[in-house]
Every structure is written in C-alpha cells, then in structure tokens.
C-alpha cells in the first residue's frame, strides 16, 4: 500500500477549499445562509439576468454548487462533482462576462477560478485522502470524466444559449419601443 504523499495533501486542500467555497455559495442561493437571498431572492435575480424561470434556475445553480462542492470536498464521485460545479460556474461567468475579466469590476474572474479549479479536480482525481479512494474508485472511473463533462457541457450550452436568446429578444424589443417612441409620435 502506497503512503500518502504531498500531492494527496495538496489535492485535499484544494478539494476542501474549493468545495467549501462552492457549498457556501450554493447555500446562499438555496437557504439564504451567509448573507444570501434564498430561493425567492435568488430566483428574482436569476430572472433579472435572463435565466428563466428564476426559481428553478436558482434551485439548479444552488444544487450544483452545494452538491458539487460537498462531493468535491469529500472526494466522492469526483468527475461528476467537478463537472457539475464547473457547469454552474460557466453559467455565472456568462452573467459577468460583459463586465470584463476582473472581479472588482463585476467580471467573471471569480466564477472562472472556481470553475477551472473544479474542472481540474474532476480530471486530476481526488487523491488518496478521499472517499473515492476509500471506496475503490467505484464512482471515479476514467470513462466518467468525459461522460460527466459532455453531459454538463450539453446542459450548460442549452441553459446559457436560452438565456442569450432571451436577452437578445428583450434588447430588440427595447430598441423597437425606443424607435416607436421617437419616430411615431
């Protein structure tokens, strides 16, 4: 039996850190913890940024963040956990992308960092200090990595694409209203 090495300790720290942040972020959405707005408030926000229906979008994002973060921290079902968290962060990045990269300007830096960390852990694996290792990697097989990312990518593309279409339609409607207001009076 191979001893735990510093790589395993590093993976444990990454999993606990990123997983803990994701859990906190997700429970803000789901339960209003840590200064969050819960499903109702987050659902209203989701609607305002083009994710509709808002409550379902808030629930899906909260579950992906909380569930994915919990599983990452535990090192359990690491491919699915990392892919789910990365998908949620891709949806968040889409909201922040118009503000540029850096977080201080409202950009997608934070979401990208969490998403890439989760994706990296899904690909690298949890290390020996994990439930996946303890359970003989029953839910952490090599084939699960592309399967988890393919499913997450497809779902994320549908959701983010639908959001983009809603926002485009809303902008076109605003432009038509401005035109009518200016030229039809």
pLDDT digits (tens, 9 = 90+) for 141-150: 999 999 999 9
Integer Cα distance of 11 and 156 in angstroms:
26
Choose among 88, 163, 178, 76: nearest CA to 122. 76
Q: What would the pLDDT profile of 39-68 be if each residue is shown by its tens digit?
A: 999 999 999 999 999 999 999 999 999 999
DSSP tag of 130:
S
The pTM of the full predicted model, rounded to 2 decimals, is 0.89
- What mean pLDDT, rounded, does the chain reach? 94
Task: Please determine, for residue 178, whether its predicted confidence score (pLDDT) is greater than 70.
Answer: no
| Backbone Cα Rg of the chain | 19
**Contact between 25 and 72 (Cβ < 8 Å):** no
Whether the predicted pLDDT of 181 surpasses 80:
no
What backbone phi and psi angles, to 5 degrees, belong to 128? Answer: -75, -25
Residue 7 pLDDT > 60: yes
Residue spans of the domains in the chain: they are 6-183
**C-alpha to C-alpha distance for 69 and 134, rounded to whole angstroms:** 19
Yes or no: say if 91 and 59 are a contact pair by the CB < 8 Å rule.
no
């Amino acid at each position: 039996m191979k001893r735990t090495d510093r790589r395993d300790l590093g993976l444990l720290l990454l999993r606990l850190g990123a997983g803990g942040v994701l859990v906190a972020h997700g429970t803000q959405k789901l339960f209003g913890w840590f200064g969050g707005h819960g499903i109702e408030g987050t659902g209203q926000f989701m609607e305002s940024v083009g994710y509709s229906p808002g409550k379902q979008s808030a629930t899906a994002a909260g579950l992906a963040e909380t569930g994915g973060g919990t599983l990452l921290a535990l090192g359990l079902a690491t491919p699915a956990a990392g892919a789910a968290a990365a998908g949620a962060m891709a949806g968040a990045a889409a909201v922040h992308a118009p503000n540029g990269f850096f977080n201080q300007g409202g950009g997608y830096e934070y979401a990208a960092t969490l998403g890439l960390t989760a994706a990296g852990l899904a690909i690298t694996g949890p290390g020996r200090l994990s439930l996946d290792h303890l359970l003989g990697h029953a839910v952490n097989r090599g084939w699960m990595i592309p399967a988890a990312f393919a499913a997450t990518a497809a779902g994320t593309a549908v959701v983010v694409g639908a959001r983009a279409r809603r926002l485009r339609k809303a902008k076109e409607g605003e432009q038509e209203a401005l035109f009518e207001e200016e030229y039809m009076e």
